[in-house]
């Protein structure tokens, strides 16, 4: 049994929710956290956080972008820059953000910090579209962001 808390600077999404299984998009790849996991701290990347509540047969999903993960004993705390459930995602806004990021990435005069900024925006919009649209793009986004 794990107790999951998911917090952003602007809201608490989950507080001590009992979960059986948790997948988080860590900076260098996906982590699967189960009861009895060793203590751990990790930086998170942009992706889909998935968790299965006790007794549930399916995973709930939350799009997150950047943050930290701490696993201590039976507790998992996720501090994310942003976190949105599928119902909270504005698909039109996500699609606009994706188009804008793609346009900016094609500029020939981009400096390194600008490239990194727009790449992060593109990744976040892809994840949001995939989760908010409930289509195959979410799975494709997860595979793309792992590389």
User: For the chain, what are the domain ranges?
Assistant: 2-86, 90-145
For the whole model, what pTM was predicted? 0.82
CATH code for 90-145? 1.20.5
CA 89, CA 74: separation in Å to the nearest integer?
Answer: 30
Write down the pLDDT at residue 25: 96
Write down the pLDDT at residue 140: 45
Q: DSSP states of 6-23 as a string?
A: EE-SS-EEEEEEEEEEEE
Same fold, 2-86 and 90-145: no
CA 83, CA 88: separation in Å to the nearest integer?
Answer: 9
> Which segments in the chain show pLDDT lower than 50?
136-147
Write down the pLDDT at residue 90: 92
Q: Which fold would CATH assign to domain 2-86?
A: ATP Synthase; domain 1 (2.60.15)
By DSSP bridging, strand 75-85 and strand 60-72 are antiparallel
The token pair that represents 135 in the structure block: 């289509």
């Amino acid at each position: 049994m794990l107790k999951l808390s998911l917090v952003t600077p602007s809201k608490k999404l989950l507080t001590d929710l009992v979960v059986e299984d948790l997948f988080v998009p860590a900076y260098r790849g996906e982590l699967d956290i189960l009861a009895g996991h060793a203590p751990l701290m990790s930086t998170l990347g942009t992706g889909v956080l998935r968790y299965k509540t006790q007794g549930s047969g399916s995973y709930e999903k939350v799009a997150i972008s950047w943050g930290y993960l701490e696993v201590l004993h039976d507790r998992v705390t996720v501090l994310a820059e942003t976190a949105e459930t599928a119902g909270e995602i504005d698909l039109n806004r996500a699609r606009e953000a994706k188009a804008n990021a793609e346009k900016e990435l094609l500029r020939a005069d981009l400096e390194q910090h600008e490239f990194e900024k727009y790449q992060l925006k593109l990744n976040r919009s892809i994840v949001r579209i995939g989760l908010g649209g409930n289509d195959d793009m979410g799975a494709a986004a997860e595979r793309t962001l792992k590389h």
